[in-house]
Structure 1
């Protein structure tokens, strides 16, 4: 026969194990896969053959690019910092997590934050033959 204290100890141990498993399952289900659309834009490109590039750009504090263009339009993703972008006559400010569409027309980018800024450029341009 099992003593009442031993049975109580076994019941408590089983309860603690069950609570531990529930807690682990709750933590596991809280960290689920997620998917979020950051930009959706229909694009008409002038060529069927496209060169796609992914470029990391770092801007020192206070840096401003001269007026320039890129070979192709595309989305830009801000990793860190605060950027003022003037593109095709319009001005916007972007911070980490923001995605914006660069037109490929004349533009400037200025780091107006307190430290280094960084973006990822996804560029789509007609393939060079």
Structure 2
């Protein structure tokens, strides 16, 4: 089965709360694509938009359950890292739900270090879940 991924690389400003950023449109487009085209996963990168944080970026990776344990997470992470190198970004950060053991293992294997634990930071299917921040 051929795997299809949705990629989004933002190297200019992308403040999450800004209506001008297109961030919300991007996530709606991913959901729609997943429903219509059977997208297997996504990679999102957002670089800091102020002079103080342009050296940093955040990465987000998502995979369908059926695509796990096939190396796709590693491939998407490496693709994101190549963009980070091209952009001469010094710091790469991410957040991950603490019960996502596959992702935690991948990020640890790739050298990401835990920075913080955020208790009850997300509400998923009616249940509060913890999230951890990582960077390298």
TM-score of the alignment, normalized to the shorter chain, above 0.5: no
TM-score normalised by structure 2 residue count: 0.26
Task: Identify, as 1 or 2, the structure richer in helix.
Answer: 2
The structure whose Rg is larger is: 1
Q: Kindly indicate whether structure 1 or structure 2 has the higher relative contact order, using CA contacts under 8 Å at least 6 residues apart.
A: 1
TM-score normalised by structure 1 residue count: 0.27
